[in-house]
Amino acid sequence: MKLVILDRDGVINFDSDNFIKSPDEWKPIPGSLEAIARLNQAGFRVVVATNQSGIGRGLFDMAMLNSIHDKLYRSLAQVGGRIDALFYCPHSADLNCQCRKPRAGMFEEIGRRFNTALTAVPSIGDALRDLQASATVGAQPILVLTGKGEKTQKTGGLPKGTLIFPDLAAAAKQVIQSA
């Protein structure tokens, strides 16, 4: 099975320091939805793994998160794409849970749910914590320079073997070519 794991905010859609709290605030990065559709067309199962601590902080509730994701799904369908599964951590950082990236709990659950080892599975994120969670399970960390990506690259400390691309469209093109 061909699988790819994506972070949401900063990879698929524009990020915000104030959190994405409503469907109106969710805006796709140009080319990202089409990149997901190309991954689908190339036979990849696309999974999203996203920290959503805004829930734990009381900034929005599950109904609002579902509304945001409904907009994501509808927008993808319009360009022929889909998300095969979406995993999220609703906890704030102070809860010290196992699912919040940089911990690998969400990734381990993805492996169980899809009954597959995540070794070398492309995992695309814009923050160091995305890349660290990927590396922990042996996935291929890929940094995109959208969202927090440029800052992440400058900060350094990237896991060994991290690949870097300007955006999801460029990363997806390489993932498809390498499959």
Catalytic residues: 7, 9
* DSSP at 19: -
Long-range contacts of 65-70 (CB under 8 A, 24+ apart): 65/90, 67/22, 67/23, 68/20, 68/22, 68/23, 68/26, 70/23
Helices (H) and strands (E) in the chain, counts: 7, 6
Angstrom distance (rounded) from CA 10 to CA 118: 22
Q: Is 85 helix (H, G, I), strand (E, B) or coil?
A: strand
Residue with tokens 């067309």: 41
